[in-house]
Structures are given as C-alpha cells and as structure tokens.
Amino acid sequence: MTAKQEKKHTVRLPYLLPQKPFELSTRTSERGLSCLLCGVAGILVYSDTEMTFRTARGRVAIKGEALRCRTYVSGNAEVSGRVACICFEEG
C-alpha cells in the first residue's frame, strides 16, 4: 500500500451541544404562576403536583397543584399552574 492508500480512521464521539447556563424567570398568569426555565437538560419527574428538571448544575423541582408543562424545546421549558415552591438541589 502506498501512503495515499493508507487511511487512518479516527473514531469521533457524538457531537454534544454545549450546555446552556441555567436561568429561571417567573410571571403571574390567569392560571397562577408561570415559570420559564432555560438550560434544562432533561425532565426527571412529570406530574400535576411536581415537575423536576435536570440542569448542568443540579436539579430544579417545581411543586404545586394543576401543574402543566406548556412547552419543552431546545433546553427551554415553561411550567404553569398553582406553584407552591421551587426547590434547587446542587450536584
């Protein structure tokens, strides 16, 4: 084989999108409180009384009643309902 015929194949890891920094904003709505979370890496718990999200810095849990995830796209999630508390857990 000549030098041109020898090709070294390298294994490339799957491309991972860079993680966004976590941001949280809230606003009042006709159904209670609306929370916009940016930098979400995944949904861990989904129910009408608790929604827990994974972020680069840990977990964020939203607890209350009649919770609804209105949108979840590109690392952004919006939760609305009667929010009782928002809990943060590092790690």
The model's pTM is 0.76
pLDDT digits (tens, 9 = 90+) for 37-88: 999 999 999 999 999 999 988 999 999 999 999 999 989 999 999 999 999 9
Q: List the one residue out of 57, 51, 48 whose CA is nearest residue 23.
A: 57
Give the integer Cα–Cα distance in Å for 30 and 26: 13
pLDDT digits (tens, 9 = 90+) for 4-13: 556 555 656 5
pLDDT digits (tens, 9 = 90+) for 22-41: 899 999 977 789 999 999 99
Residue-level pLDDT at 50: 97
